[in-house]
Structure 1
Amino acid sequence: MGKKKSRQKAAGNTIAVNRRARHDYFIEDRFEAGLCLEGWEVKSLRAGNAQLTEAYVNLRQGEAWLVGAHFAPLKTVSTHIKADPTRARKLLLHRHELDRLT
Structure 2
Amino acid sequence: MKKLHQPSCIPIAINKHAHYSYSIEKEFEAGLLLKGWEVKALRVGQVNIRESYILVHSKEAFLIGSIISALYIVSPYMQCDERRARKLLLSKQELHVLSNIIQRHGYSVIALSMYWKNAWAKLKIGAGKGKKQYDKREEIKERDWKLEQRRMIKKFIVT
* 2:89 corresponding residue in structure 1: 92
SS of alignment partner, residue 95 of structure 2: helix
- For normalisation by structure 1, the TM-score amounts to 0.86
Which has a greater percent of strand?
2
Q: Does 1:68 align with 2:68?
A: no
Percent of matched pairs sharing the same residue? 43
The total of aligned residue pairs comes to 96
- Structure number with greater Rg is 2
Off by >2 Å, runs of 4+ in structure 1: none
* Higher-RCO chain (CA-CA 8 Å, sequence separation at least 6): 2
- Superposed CA offset, 1:45-99 (max 9, x none): 1100000011000010011100000000000015331100000000001111111
RMSD, matched Cα:
1.7
Whole-angstrom distance in 1 between the partners of 2:75 and 2:17: 29
5+ long unaligned stretches in structure 2: 100-159
What does 1:17-96 correspond to in 2, within 5 Å?
17-77=14-74, 79-96=76-93
Which has a greater percent of helix?
2
* 1:3 corresponding residue in structure 2: none
SS of alignment partner, residue 13 of structure 1: strand
